[in-house]
Amino acid sequence: MIGKSPNQNQLNLFKPVLKQFINPSHPLVLLAERIPWSELEKDFSPLYSNTGTPAKPIRLMIGLLLLKQMYNLGDETLMPEWVRDPYFQYFCGEVEFQWRPPCDPSDLVHFRKRIGTEGVEKLFKLSIDLHGETIKRQREVIVDTTVQEKNITFPTDVKLYCKIIGKCNKIAKTEGIVLRQSYRRTVKTLLLLQRFAHHPKRKKEADRSKRKLKTLAGRIVRDLERKFVEDQMQRYRQELLIFKAVIAQQRFDRDKIYSIHEPETSCIAKGKAHKQYEFGSKVSLAMLPKSNIIVGVLNFKGNPNDTITLKPTLDYAKKITGMKFDYAIVDRGYKVKRMIDETEIVIPGRKENSVYLQNRKRKKCRSRAAIEPIIGHIKSDCRMAKNYLKGRIGDEINSLMAATAFNFRKLLSKIEKDFILFIFNLTVKSSKPLNFSVILSY
């Protein structure tokens, strides 16, 4: 059943009402007034049942998701911040100041699963539409790719073999199966031999222990498989396939598995000096120049070439914004033709027919560099540096929510600047001395 949001204009004699002591000109308050909460509730209401215990209000859950990404907080760390900050509470639709968390952190997990990628896309589209005329005047778009790293340990063969042995022992304990041997003590001994594996005098010993761990992992998987009945085999078929693939894979194989619990993680080399390899998924971003608003985000499985990602990203940006772009500015990593549908692709290095066209192209290519710091801010400020959400759908939701949060942060900054400019103009017209401390407090 759908939970109802309280009426924020209703007063209370016994509890502190938020509207009576918060700053009505705070950017979060002004942003809350701009968001069409009733339309969002109408869009998400079909996802709820008509019977049962009332769920948390839709506005509360959407507000928590946005605040989590905008202020770079986790599901657990968001709750004490929400209790501490009255502006967070007002943004989520509360009337009185609350002294307890609004929900359990796991409710955010269930809400993300409920709305899925389609629901997050609606929030992303809203973050673009709220900028209004700023995006409608532009006919150029900058496209680039980056890596959204997964929250996994650095993958090594030894770690994966130990994980397989531990998982098999856990499954056997759950199902009441007695294995021939658990290898717990043997694994500890072999792991000690992995210390200083790169030392010339210890390398052969470490290689022997690695081969032994691989043998033990294969042995315990086969032992578990033999003792499974048909029902158990159906339940754990996917896990066994992953275990076998990890044991069988070689050094130079393609589409290797780098994590037992995140088997779709890919190894991507971006040529960075400080980080040769990154483990996660490739994300393509489309950004409007000058305004720096993100208008397209697509998450790709594996490690496709940048050229393959360009057309889907442009199509997605057109679908979200409803606009056709005349120019798409990219870097030299995109080996594409001059035109994709009705969009001209601008790549540095290509010669033009005249000096005028060459200078115009150079100007466009110089503007392309603006997307690099934007990607850095999305990663460091909006939780795209490391993805903690599970699975393929977690990759898509996290990248979309990061772009949505970045657009909302841009809108918050614009609201704050507009308000300071309004106070400045009001003070100048009234010919009164300007109190900068009051203005800066906003």
What pLDDT does residue 432 have? Answer: 53
Could you tell me what percent of the chain has a pLDDT over 90? 69
Segment 317-356, tens digit of pLDDT:
999 998 889 999 999 888 888 888 889 998 887 677 677 7
Q: How far is CA 71 from CA 154, 359, 382, 427, 438, in A?
A: 27, 41, 7, 32, 24
Determine how β-strand 294-300 pairs with β-strand 278-287.
Answer: antiparallel
Task: Give the distance from CA 402 to its chain's centroid.
Answer: 5
What pLDDT does residue 218 have? Answer: 96
Segment 381-404, tens digit of pLDDT:
999 999 999 999 999 999 999 999
Average pLDDT of the residues of the chain: 90
List Cβ neighbours of 373 (8 Å cut-off, separation of 6 or more).
none
Helix axes 371-381, 391-430, angle to 10 degrees: 110
Segment 57-102, tens digit of pLDDT:
999 999 999 999 999 999 999 999 999 999 999 999 999 999 999 9
Task: Give the distance from CA 15 to its chain's centroid.
Answer: 37
For 105, other C-beta atoms within 10 Å of its C-beta total 15
**Mapping DSSP to helix (H, G, I), strand (E, B) and coil, where does residue 2 land?**
coil
What is the token pair recorded at 155? 């993958």
Pair 318, 183: CB distance under 8 Å? no
In order of their start, the domains of the chain are 18-129+403-441 (no CATH), 138-152+266-388 (3.30.420), 157-248 (no CATH)
Segment 251-307, tens digit of pLDDT:
989 999 999 999 999 999 988 888 899 999 999 999 999 899 999 999 999 899 999
Pair 139, 420: CB distance under 8 Å? no
Give the CA radius of gyration of the chain.
27
